[in-house]
Amino acid sequence: MTEHVSGRDVLRQAKELYEPYRNDVAPTGQRVAIIRFQPAENDPPDWKIKLEASKVSAEQKVKSFEHLGFQADHVVMPPGTTRAQFAEVLERANQDPRTRAIIVQFPPPAHLQPLVQRMDPAKDIDALTKGRSPYNACATAEGICRVVEPFAKDDPVIAVVGSKGFVGQGVVTTLREQGHRLMELDAGDDLRRVRDADIVVSVTGNPGILGPDHLRPHHRLVVDSGFVPQADGSVKGDVQRAAYDIPQHLTPVPGGIGPVEMATLMERVVRREVDPDAPSWKVDARPYLTKEQLTQGAQEPSPATVTAAQATQAAQVGEGRQVVGERAVGGERAVDGERAAMGGQSVGQQAAGQQTPGGSGQQAAGQLGAGGSQGPGQQASREPTAGAQAAGGAAGPQSPGSQASGSPAVGSQGAGAQGAGAQAAVGNPIAQAARLRTGAGHGGVGPGTVNPTAGPSAPARAQSPVPPKPPTPGGPGR
Ligand SMILES: Nc1nc(=O)c2c([nH]1)NC[C@@H]1CN(c3ccc(C(=O)N[C@@H](CCC(=O)O)C(=O)O)cc3)C=[N+]21
């Protein structure tokens, strides 16, 4: 019943959007440098795993930039690299006028980490030079926030697990700037608190830190930014497989935030080097149910209210944005285990001890700077194959954008109202949601409004590095 939000779709969309710039870029000989570190044979296994994730993502970046016509310099620093050697590589990239952007893959060995700050901030497209990069947050954090955006039109509480890590800090800063209500959790906190949130963003890089004790059907979106390669070739994210079917929407690992990060980097480079007005990739809105809707749906709705609410919402939905009606919450997804790709550098954090419900005892997340431990930690989840089904098609009340008022209460009322068919679904909130949606469709917003999620044809919207929220009709005045 969980719908996957596909990062692969986002990346496909970005490739189509930016491919035309290739003709402008290729003849210029512009380059992008991606620098990463290789582990020594006898390095500890967890360090090797982090550097493996770093390698996977470096390779993805090479492909992404080459797709745009840039020459990608994939620089692999061998074990035992000295400060002088690393400094020289950076200096060369700083000085080379053809090298337009530089990314140092995290984590670097502890003794080399301070040198990262020597990168020319003007070439720092992943916001590694604290406070000096042209961007406020790393590409992963920006990508995560843009995936969250269509699910966050009604002033939801957004939990950020691993809030003190490198990626977590970027997510917190960005979402706070946008006016969102946040629940910041890190090592030592009781992660079960995420049950009170509406949206969960997990950027710890601690495999399986979130499970059935933490996730709930009222979670309209769970973003898993973990990416931890396993010995058998699979990849783990922050969310346990056992919890994969609980939330309404999930970014799988692989196939989720990893590819989203690539799309974000492509967009940043194109805008910076070629066309400041290049379009931006986007994730289309999808219907979801609020906590209140789930609760109220289980009760007896008043038919009259339902009708009114439906009409209102439908109208709003209709004008507002291209809300998609289709993928229903109730849809089933075939989850096959793929891996997600998130990008993440969630550096270093270790999450709190998850299985211990109290979470105490966890470790704190590492920040980028913290020594070697900050590994890239994201994880991935699997990806849905085709999966999603549409539930009833129409943009339901819950469909994003539909709640016009900033107040959650309002939104929820409307939602609750639609619950006409809900009673039957008591005990199965997701099924209930699907029914609610179906009912909502009657308002006139037909299935015809369905857009493929993040499809390549999705209209592009101008966007700054940290995209402002598009105005919602009558929406929350954040
Ligand atoms: N400065 C810096 N920035 C980073 O963004 C950064 C980093 N350092 N260090 C390492 C982590 C890890 N990371 C990933 C990004 C994409 C995928 C990705 O695209 N994964 C694909 C799978 C790719 C494959 O399996 O080959 C997917 O999830 O579908 C994975 C991991 C970024 N990190």
Closest ligand 1 atom number to CA of residue 105 = 8
**Tokens found for residue 359:** 């979470």
Substitution site in 11, 57, 113 for ligand 1 pocket (most atoms within 8 Å of beta carbon): 57
Chain Cα centroid distance, residue 245 = 18
Measured distance CA(207)–CA(125) in Å, rounded: 27
Substitution site in 5, 46, 60 for ligand 1 pocket (most atoms within 8 Å of beta carbon): 60
Substitution site in 12, 227, 373, 379 for ligand 1 pocket (most atoms within 8 Å of beta carbon): 227
**Tokens found for residue 318:** 């209709």
Our answer on whether the CB atom of 345 is closer than 6 Å to any ligand 1 atom is yes
What pTM was estimated for this model as a whole? 0.70
Amino acid at 103: I
Predicted local distance difference test score (pLDDT) of residue 298? 58
Each of the 478 residues of the chain gets a pLDDT tens digit; together they read 899 999 999 999 999 999 999 999 999 999 999 999 999 999 999 999 999 999 999 999 999 999 999 999 999 999 999 999 999 999 999 999 999 999 999 999 999 999 999 999 999 999 999 899 999 999 999 999 999 999 999 999 999 999 999 999 999 999 999 999 999 999 999 999 999 999 999 999 999 999 999 999 999 999 999 999 999 999 999 999 999 999 999 999 999 999 999 999 999 999 999 999 999 999 999 999 999 998 887 554 333 333 333 433 433 333 332 222 233 333 232 222 222 223 333 333 333 333 333 333 333 332 322 223 333 333 333 333 222 333 333 333 444 434 333 333 222 333 333 333 333 333 344 444 444 433 332 322 222 222 333 333 333 333 333 333 333 333 332 2
Half-sphere exposure at residue 82, Cβ-oriented, CA atoms within 13 angstroms: 3
Measured distance CA(332)–CA(384) in Å, rounded: 10
Note whether 395 and 448 are within 8 A (CB).
no
Predicted local distance difference test score (pLDDT) of residue 344? 33
∠15-20-24 over CA atoms, to 5°?
A: 125
Our answer on whether the CB atom of 259 is closer than 6 Å to any ligand 1 atom is yes
Closest ligand 1 atom number to CA of residue 140 = 5
